[in-house]
Amino acid sequence: MNFIPERLISLRQSLGISKAAAARMLNMSAMGYGRYESGEREPSYQTVAFIAQAFNSSIEYLYGNTDDKNATTITISSKDEPDLFLLVQSIRNDKNLLERLLTYTENIKNVQ
């Protein structure tokens, strides 16, 4: 798989952030990030996965396997989002509870 730097640039621009801000978001040097955008260096698969998550996109988009920019996975950290983590954990294996929650969510969205 080949990383496509133009896709990284497109994602960053769609977020409305500078290269420096993107580098800070990813906890890397501006120079290192700039090398990914310029194509001088190809990030590891793990780094591409981290970038995709941080930019709310997908690994597949960054590698050119799809034109859909939308995320295909979401990682929920128990440390960063404990309530959401517990919610997902509680409904993960309970289809009935999941259906009830989805119905409730739709009802709330319709009220607004």
Residue 1: per-residue pLDDT: 77
Q: Look at residues 13, 15, 51 and name the one whose alpha carbon lies nearest to residue 33.
A: 51
List, for residues 37-96, the tens digit of each pLDDT value: 999 999 999 999 999 999 999 999 999 999 999 999 888 999 999 999 999 999 998 999
Structure tokens at 78: 């128990």
List, for residues 48-59, the tens digit of each pLDDT value: 999 999 999 999
Structure tokens at 41: 């260096």
| Helix (H/G/I), strand (E/B), else coil: 38 | helix
**Residue 27 falls in which region: left (phi positive, over 0), alpha (psi -120 to 50) or beta:** left
Say how far residue 76 (Cα) sits from the centre of its chain. 11
